Amino acid sequence: MKKDIALELCDIRREFRINQGFFKPAATLKAVDGVSLRLMRGETLGLVGESGCGKSTLAKMLLGLLPPTSGDVLVNGKHLAATDRKEMSRHIQPIFQDPYSSLNPRKTLREIVTLPLIVHDIGSTVERRKKTEEMLDVVGLPKTGDRQLPEPAVRRATPAGGAIARALIMRPDVLICDEPTSALDVSVQAQILNLLQDLKREFGLTYLLISHNLAVIEHLADRVAVMYLGRIVEERTREALFAKPGHPYTRALLDSVLTPDPHLGIPDIGLHGTFPNPMSPPSGCAFHPRCPSCFAPCKTAYPANGPLTGGNVRCHLHDTSAQTLELVHS
């Protein structure tokens, strides 16, 4: 039902004009190329893909920091483009990947967390202080928020906890978590991931979790969307995708995870070549020059979005008509 959709992306596209220098025409970079997704209320959707695939550009559009070239974003059924950004920030908030740079080091923790309440003119000074102290307590930080913490482990977690508290102080419906643990010490990452899970249950939150860390995605996500060169190539439940990936690119991502055993060395993921030039993408399926399972239709026709256990996938390997065409021409 529509009322259960917290966030919906409808054929979102974002293009950039890139200057290539003197005497050369500007080129078009399709950072996000026709992405459609739905986040159901209370779920966590993981978004994965290599650096440069368009994940962070997509996040910026969802937050209203970057307008889409075309397409539409709906938050709680309201069109993002037609809604005041200040009003929309009550419903959707970010947790950026580097809390050390996204939080102002010149301000105290209390000032940082309280600021959204001041901007939206919510409550009196006393009420704001109370709300801020309650939120700091929820994320496991001291209520004073004014002095350096004595415990080194807690001190390392403070920026991440502060970023989460700042995002939650407005009690949003949706959190856009862009690599929320990538800048953190390994000893702190588990604490933050467990905290995000607890907060989701306590506040009924909906997460879009953007990460290159597949262990994080497997730990937190209900569904997973795989992005390659600006497009979603596979979107399925976490269980189905990790048990049997449908797209060769997804399989390569899972195979690329390093194991704790140093004797196993660097995994061989079986891909050819390198990430293509996004200003001059390959014809057909953009992944075909690197794909170990490539056959003729992959080079000329972009695959349709077909059903697969737990979701859908864009791959000719699961398209019976493409396989029939290959047999006819072989």
Beta-strand relationship, 305-308 and 231-237:
unpaired
Token look-up 């029939």 returns 324
What is the sign of the dihedral through the CA atoms of 265, 266, 268 and 273? negative
State the Cα angle at 272 between 231 and 26, rounded to 5°.
50
pLDDT tens sequence across 210-222: 998 898 899 899 9
pLDDT tens sequence across 4-41: 999 999 999 999 998 877 778 888 899 999 999 999 99
Beta-strand relationship, 206-210 and 174-178:
parallel
What dihedral do alpha carbons 231, 233, 234, 235 form, nearest 10°?
20
Where is 164: in which H helix or E strand? Answer: helix 152-168
Q: CA 283 to CA 285: how far, in whole Å? A: 6
First CA to last CA distance, the chain: 46
pLDDT at 159: 75
Those residues whose C-beta lies under 8 Å from the C-beta of residue 198, and which sit 6 or more positions away, are: none
Mean pLDDT, the chain, rounded, equals 86
Residue 211's closest CA among 201, 199, 200, 219? 219
Q: Which domains does the chain have, with CATH numbers?
A: 2-221 (3.40.50.300)
Token look-up 């490539």 returns 294
In the DSSP assignment, the letter for residue 233 is: E
This model's pTM is above 0.85 = yes
14, 227 in Cβ contact below 8 A? no
Q: Which amino acid is at 145?
A: G
Hey, how many other C-beta atoms are within 10 angstroms of the C-beta on 18? 11
pLDDT tens sequence across 156-212: 456 788 889 999 999 999 999 988 887 777 778 888 888 999 999 999 999 999 998
Q: pLDDT band at residue 3, thresholds of 50, 70 and 90?
A: low
Got the DSSP string for 24-80? S--EEEEEEEEEEEEEETT-EEEEE--TTSSHHHHHHHHTTSS--SEEEEEETTEEG
